[in-house]
Structure 1
């Protein structure tokens, strides 16, 4: 490391990354366990179980544009602490839920806290990371949510299976408390007055709330997210139906470990050979993961599906997000990220509800088999039409220019 290279691992960077980690830990605790709770404890239908994710993400999506304006007006730290208080309050309210209607209300409130908080952490970390280390810094910051994806589902499902619902909620509440403590340790400097004025003076309209250049790849990601939601929200329920409930918590461990191990290599391939060389093989692997879920009859195939899905979708998601950021003008990088995540969350939310409805008509096995075909055929076509062919021409022109 060069001596004059600006410091990355500051107190603020560590604090905001820890805040993001515990935010997503709580999110994943509840994401994989609430569908089971709805079906087995509250006597709900599978469609209602899927709706829990939809309601949560819907409120997060709706609040994000307003969160951005509040950050400009009041500062990132103040808005973050407010959102973390809402997030913690909602987490505690789960202990008092006794009906599906009450659970939906709590999920809506929880999504508001989550949507504001994740917007704040993204804005704060963008200001903290030195420009010369932005790629490295964002990589480590995103890694915090990836680690939560490894630990959260495993701990949540294990706690629920071994000690019951209240134990799982105890872990979720503890994670939310840690989130508040980490957020409170952040010390953010006020932004430059000129930059604040420019942002506040911008009229509040759709043009300023979305980055148009990020929309095509964001829509592509959201359409893939429709299929991914079948894994995210229902793989634990499906494992129980197959008699594999004891290893369901290991699905996301395998998924995320494969993702973490592959990321350095996929990142280098992206830089060397372009987007398409990464995206098309990842689509195939994602489809294979869904296919294995559809035909699985053993723990080996179940975890093999996790590995393929982790390598496939785990590569597609960060690649799509990178494309969204690189497609935007320099001053609109943050908004491109927000646009991508908002549209992606719409896909996850709709997908959870649609899959929940479809599960009332078809078996999960049939849904995963259909999802495999949808990803391989429809997903490939969608990516090619909305983004892939453009990058093919760009790459071809770059190679001709070098020759």
Structure 2
């Protein structure tokens, strides 16, 4: 009977997996919206402790990426998704119980930090399995389209979670925000139940993480450098507008970044599998131009155009650079390949957080966007190396024949 309830069309099933990611990212977005407010406003802790809560989750995600990839390869993405949703649900429940039952003390802060560790590991598993599961359903030749769907689900989930989190905190209270945080991944279990599992390779992966890194670093470094622009936009764009006297346009400018991101996925995502080096370089160039426009802006309109172009250019970098990364390792190690590649997103965010704050302190907000512009140029060099490696590997079998 269980088999009867499962979706027969693999494309529909793949979109259902993307929906699971959306629900999980709603939970993550909720936490990112309400926890900094709770730590600062309710617990009364400084910005350092606010940043620590966010950093703990990022570090947990980064350190568990390889584990998530191996778990998906050895046990299957369906089991990995169940474990990831369970950890995400547990993180939400810990926050809910803390807000509902405990006073605002250091114990509550410690529990929140522990919940961030659970959320980070759960996020790693869900991110990885939301890529490996659909690829297993529809085939590796459609990996680019899958990455495009995953990116849209990720972005929309975070945006929805941020909005609902901020609204619930100020309108109905943080306890209800934590309840929403807990219930969102629970809905994901319904989708897990109706999507068929994919084949798992019986032999356990023996590939070392160091070898995976040596194969993927070229794609990964390009992805990491491109995402410094994303971090600059999300962390500093609104502050840049406020300091420049463009406060009224700040929120709209951030929305334009999101509009550009989604527009690129909807218009170009279908070409992800057939496009290669040229489209990747074009996307990075568009992002670089957008960041330069923001950094040199003399009017809010110029900066808003830059925000749209940054989102449009960055959008396709993830799926396009994922292709040479995924093809760098055998099919049975696709989970390790994807998790290693995705860990570069965390590295890019951490670099932007550590270096970006110092750059802004010394040279002002516009400098972080100029810095991100040069990072995009470096990403182009990494991209050329990544696709050249892929071409060389494709030529080797032909030469052997």
Q: Same fold (TM over 0.5)?
A: yes
What is the CA–CA distance in structure 2 between the aligned matches of 1:37 and 1:354, rounded to whole Å?
A: 26
- CA gap of 1:308–1:191, structure 2 versus 1, over 3 A, is closer
Cα offset, 1:217, TM superposition: 0.7
Partner of 2:17: 16
Alignment of 1:25-36 (within 5 A): 25-31=26-32
Cα offset, 1:307, TM superposition: 0.5
Gaps of 5+ in 1: 1-5, 398-403
Partner of 2:62: 61
Residue 87 in structure 1 maps to residue 91 in structure 2? yes
Partner of 2:122: 113
Cα offset, 1:361, TM superposition: 3.4
SS state at 2:46 partner: coil
SS state at 1:289 partner: helix
Partner of 1:370: 371
Query: In 1, are the aligned partners of 2:68 and 2:339 still within 8 Å (CA)?
Result: no
Gaps of 5+ in 2: 1-7, 396-401
Cα offset, 1:167, TM superposition: 5.2
Cα offset, 1:107, TM superposition: 3.3
Query: In 2, are the aligned partners of 1:149 and 1:256 still within 8 Å (CA)?
Result: no
Residue 7 in structure 1 maps to residue 14 in structure 2? no
Cα offset, 1:371, TM superposition: 2.5
Query: In 1, are the aligned partners of 2:165 and 2:177 still within 8 Å (CA)?
Result: yes
SS state at 1:186 partner: helix
Alignment of 1:3-402 (within 5 A): 7-8=9-10, 10=12, 13=14, 15-31=16-32, 42=44, 44-45=46-47, 52-68=53-69, 72=74, 75-76=79-80, 78-92=82-96, 95=99, 102=110, 104-129=113-138, 136=145, 139-153=148-162, 159=167, 164=170, 170-171=176-177, 173-187=179-193, 195=200, 197-199=202-204, 202-203=205-206, 205-206=208-209, 210=212, 212-242=214-244, 244=246, 247-263=249-265, 265-267=267-269, 274-296=275-297, 298-376=299-377, 378-384=378-384, 386-387=385-386
Query: In 1, are the aligned partners of 2:23 and 2:184 still within 8 Å (CA)?
Result: yes
- CA gap of 1:191–1:94, structure 2 versus 1, over 3 A, is same
Query: In 2, are the aligned partners of 1:54 and 1:352 still within 8 Å (CA)?
Result: no
CA-based RMSD of the aligned residues comes to 4.2
Partner of 2:4: none
Deviations 1:87-134 (A, max 9, x none): 323553784767796565553343233223333444444444467866
What is the CA–CA distance in structure 2 between the aligned matches of 1:275 and 1:171, rounded to whole Å?
A: 42
Cα offset, 1:338, TM superposition: 1.4
- CA gap of 1:171–1:285, structure 2 versus 1, over 3 A, is farther
Query: In 2, are the aligned partners of 1:86 and 1:113 still within 8 Å (CA)?
Result: no
Query: In 2, are the aligned partners of 1:32 and 1:234 still within 8 Å (CA)?
Result: no
Number of residue-to-residue matches in the alignment: 380
- CA gap of 1:34–1:175, structure 2 versus 1, over 3 A, is closer
Cα offset, 1:150, TM superposition: 4.8
Query: In 2, are the aligned partners of 1:38 and 1:48 still within 8 Å (CA)?
Result: yes
SS state at 2:192 partner: coil
Cα offset, 1:166, TM superposition: 7.2
Deviations 1:167-205 (A, max 9, x none): 57845642541222222442266666xx45412xx4585
Cα offset, 1:310, TM superposition: 0.8
